[in-house]
Structure 1
Amino acid sequence: MLGSGSGQLAPALARCISTSTSAANAAPALASSGFLTSIFGMGGSRVDVPLSERLPAVTEPPRSSAPATKPTLQTSSLASGVKVATIDTVSPVSSLVLFVEGGASAETSSTVGASKVLEIAAFKATTNRSTFRLTRELEKIGATAYCRAGREHVAFGVDAVRVNTREALEILTDAALNARYPYWEVRDSLDTLKEQLAAQLKNPVTTVTEVLHRAAFDGGLGNSLVVDPALVDGFTNESLKEYLSGVLAPSRVLLAGVGVDHADITQLAGPLVSLSGSAPAPAASKYVGGSMNVIAPTAPLTYVGLGFEARGGAADAKSAAAAAVVKALLDVARPTLPHDRREHEVFASVSPFAHVYKGTGLVGLIASGAPGKAGALVDAVTAKVQSVAKGVSDAQLVHAKALALGELRAATATTAGLAAAVGSSVLATGKFSAAEAAAALQGLTAAEVSGFVSAMVKSTPTFVTYGNLSSLPRAESIAKRFA
């Protein structure tokens, strides 16, 4: 039956009918014949209301308004010593991430590959739930779960609609801290992991990146994140538990949340995060530099990786900002940076990188070219770094800063991305502010960038090659170019 809403619907229907010529001629006839009266219980008088105005007797729905102040980071510690860092936003989606400081840098000879195994074995059977039950409960609340391993930490995350934040937090803490890791689930995870590792290592850029870290750092950062599949053949569930027992300590765990209330999360997480004991702080990695060669005679291209230390790392806001800008300046393939033509036709591809860690970092580029032009490829790579060290034009700096700011905004545009940025930054520096990071980028001058690169190239270079290396110069000659 039509209720009181019919009084509001009739004028709208009359206006809709009058949108065409034939309907406009028919509308008066419909109204005069009592058609609208018989259906809607009202007269047939036509109401002319422009689309820019609201209909009579129609109540406007309430409009949401942006918060008066931008959301800020709130931090505290639980009774167990676990740190909590949150940012409350107006997003209907909340993201919770439990960070464990360690990652690949905490692996030993007996636990090689443990962080990558966790990526696949996480969010399965716990002491309170079976794998089936955990999966179904995530589906019931419309949540997605993931685990991501890095060189400095492992992140367990759950994204859910805000009304289900409490359920998401309980599942997250149970899966991360109470996991059973039975041998059959770890065995199945290893089969999947070997396939993934083999596929990733087919990409020469991935291989060069891993070898660059091995040559550049003395300590945990020198451990491979993407390991050789053969190294995990003897991995067992006991190896995984050994790795976790060394990193799951309150001082090395952080709960990050975005789109959540800090007081609620702190209160709820107290009894759920019942960690105890202690673990030594991860040993600091030291940049040493060096060279390594990976011989692949049948490779269609030769790859050259050249990197230098970014001193200060994430702990130094200016250094981290300069590293991001230098990465953009080294990318000669980007058409957005002003240049007349490609500086070196020997480049088949160019992949600049800026890996910023706690207290240190690695900045440089990986380039590829034809095997017969390997010597010219090395010359082109070193010349590109030297050109940035000599000076940067204002136009180049403006575009490079815009690219770096774009990457920062893209990384923090979603609740999950912002939660990841909050967790990794608070673990490394004890604080996080996207506004401060953006201000550090925008405040860089050409002189500061050139000074950063000049100091960077004075460190021992890290030089890695992959492919047919018959025509490459010796590593000693590379180091002399930056002496």
Structure 2
Amino acid sequence: VPAPTFAPVKFQKEDVEAVMSELPSFNFYEIKEPEPNPYAASTLDKCILLDPPSPVLTAPKAEFSQLENGMKVASVDKGGLTARLGLYVNAGSRFENTSNFGVSNMVSMMSYASTAHLSQLRTVKTLEQLGCNATATCKAGREDIAYTVGVAREFMPLVVPLLVGNVLFPRLLPWEVQAATKKVKEAKSQLEADADAMVSDLLHKAAYCNNSVGFSPVASERCLPYFTPETIRAFLLDHFAPERMVLVGVNVKHDELSKWAMRSFADYNAIPAKKREVAKAVYTGGDLRMEGASPFCHLAVAMESGAWGQQDVAPITLLQTILGGGNASSCAPGSGVTSRLHTQVVKQSPYVESCAAFNTSYSDTGLFGVYGVSHPDKAGEMCASITKAMTGLTTVSKDELTRAKAMLKGSLYRQMDDDSVLMQDMGSQLLMSGRYGSPADFAKVIDAVTEADLAATAKKLL
């Protein structure tokens, strides 16, 4: 994957009135009365403009820049009307320790609260006025914390300072922190109610027992004593330096995004980067089980795979495509009916509900495996069938490899049509490796994989 060239963005002192004049027309303190739509009777085949402008078609391209404080900015303008903005921070549950377990989840719960500029009420009302209160989210992962917003593209200058305010000057008022403690139980209940998410959480705990990515990104009730402003602020000071942040925008002009990111930091002292010791992920393996509300047995069988950026990522992803997946209720074209898991596991037993292969990559490790759902008393048989299908990956025919390459490349291109997926992909890649590979770049890597590469990678995994 080629290394992108980051255009430098210097901090500048600007006239406040000149900056304010560039903001879109918006009244923070007024909720306008709805007005009748004068074009309600107009159909889409008629232009409502007297002098319609000619469209200017430009191919979307990824652009990159870097602020003077080290923060990276990346964007792709696809010409859409809704801008997707994401602020990604290289901080998550793997950076927690015994003194602050659950703090990354607490940070996400305190998002879009009071800052040095706006109270929590004013922040929420501003998001509502902009029409993005439902799209403003913050999610803590194992290696990153992501603040995301979807808003009309003309309001991007108003949203970027709101995003930056979360990480630059949150007030962390004691009563707001206390009120957020209720969300800990809610988040844990939601996790336990979602069998898929719970299996993934247990899988990581078993694979990396008590280390690195084995720490859950969802806080438990045992973490409540750590839920204090001091604990959260200490975590921010240790990990929320601009050098560990990436601001990503889709359907925005790159120059505008970089300019407003610079303005959001220009007059403030950002958190200085501290040297931190990152414990290497140690794969331990193991087995974890728990009772759940689902009437079916949900299980996952996995093994350690390659980290992001290693040469065997492409062969592993192709092996995942070859295994594929399927479910007993759908045999429509495109649902994976020709994949190995569907033909060798799902179709072979009426007790198997669904089965799918997965591969998760982190900065220094990864997990490759299969997730399945079956009747509880037949879980052992399904597990044996899954293991047998995985051991058969050492033998892949030329036609099977050709078909897997076509399917994988098609899936890559289709996924990048989704603005949210594209934003997440850019943020994750830049955080983990400082590089960004487009679908076209990955298509070239996929085409270069041979049958020998697949066999060698499968033997290494198994």
Pick the TM interval, shorter chain: 0.7 to 0.9
Q: Does 1:149 align with 2:140?
A: yes
CA distance in 1, matches of 2:419, 2:277: 28
- CA distance in 2 between counterparts of 1:297 and 1:260 reads 44
1:159: how far off?
2.4
- Are 1:283 and 2:278 an aligned pair? yes
1:79 maps onto 2:84 in alignment? no
- 2:8 aligned partner: none
Q: Find the aligned partners of 2:433 and 2:292 in 1 and give their Cα distance.
A: 44
The within-5 A match list for 1:4-403 is 61-67=52-58, 70-143=59-132, 144-217=135-208, 219-232=211-224, 234-273=226-265, 274-281=269-276, 283-296=278-291, 300-311=295-306, 313-316=307-310, 318-333=311-326, 335=331, 336-338=336-338, 341-343=343-345, 344-345=348-349, 347-392=352-397, 394=399, 396-403=400-407
Aligned to 1:431: 435
Shift of 1:198: 1.4
- Report the TM-score, using the length of structure 2 for normalisation: 0.76
CA contact (8 A) 1:221 1:285 kept: no
Matched-pair contact (CA < 8 Å) for 2:84–2:420: yes
Look up the SS of the partner of 2:235 in the other structure.
helix
- TM-superposed CA distance for 1:309, in Å, is 2.0
What is aligned with 2:425? Answer: 421
The structure having more radius of gyration, on CA atoms, is: 1
Shift of 1:385: 0.4
* 8 Å contact kept, 2:83–2:252: yes
Q: Do the aligned partners of 1:246 and 1:279 also contact (CA within 8 Å) in 2?
A: yes
Deviation string 1:5-40 (CA, Å, 9 cap, x unpaired) is xxxxxxxxxxxxxxxxxxxxxxxxxxxxxxxxxxxx
Q: Is the 8 A contact 2:167 2:240 kept in 1?
A: no
**Contact 1:156–1:176 at 8 Å: present in 2 too?**
no
- Alignment check: 8 A CA contact 1:287 1:309 kept: no
Tell me the secondary structure at the aligned position of residue 363 of structure 1. strand
Q: CA deviation at 1:156?
A: 1.2
Q: Which amino acid aligns with 2:248?
A: A
Matches of 1:158 and 1:449 in 2, distance apart? 39
- Pair 1:298–1:200, CA change in 2 (3 A): closer
Structure 2: distance between partners of 1:134 and 1:286: 38
Closer, same or farther in 2 for the Cα pair 1:233/1:324, shift >3 Å? farther
- Cα distance in 2, alignment partners of residues 91 and 124 from structure 1: 29
Change (3 A) 1:278 1:261: same
Q: Is the 8 A contact 2:325 2:354 kept in 1?
A: no
Residue identity in the other structure for 2:309? A
Question: Unaligned 5+ residue runs, structure 1?
Answer: 1-53, 458-483
In 2 relative to 1, CA 301–167 (structure 1 residues): closer, same or farther, beyond 3 Å?
A: closer
Cα deviation for residue 248 of structure 1 reads 0.9
Q: Which one-letter code corresponds to 1:362 in the other structure?
A: L
Counterparts in 2 of 1:328 and 1:125: CA distance versus 1, 3 Å: same
DSSP-derived class of the 2:315 partner: helix
- Offset of 1:302 from its aligned partner? 4.1
CA contact (8 A) 1:397 1:446 kept: yes
Q: Size of the alignment, in residue pairs?
A: 398
| Greater Cα offset, 211-220 or 90-99 | 211-220
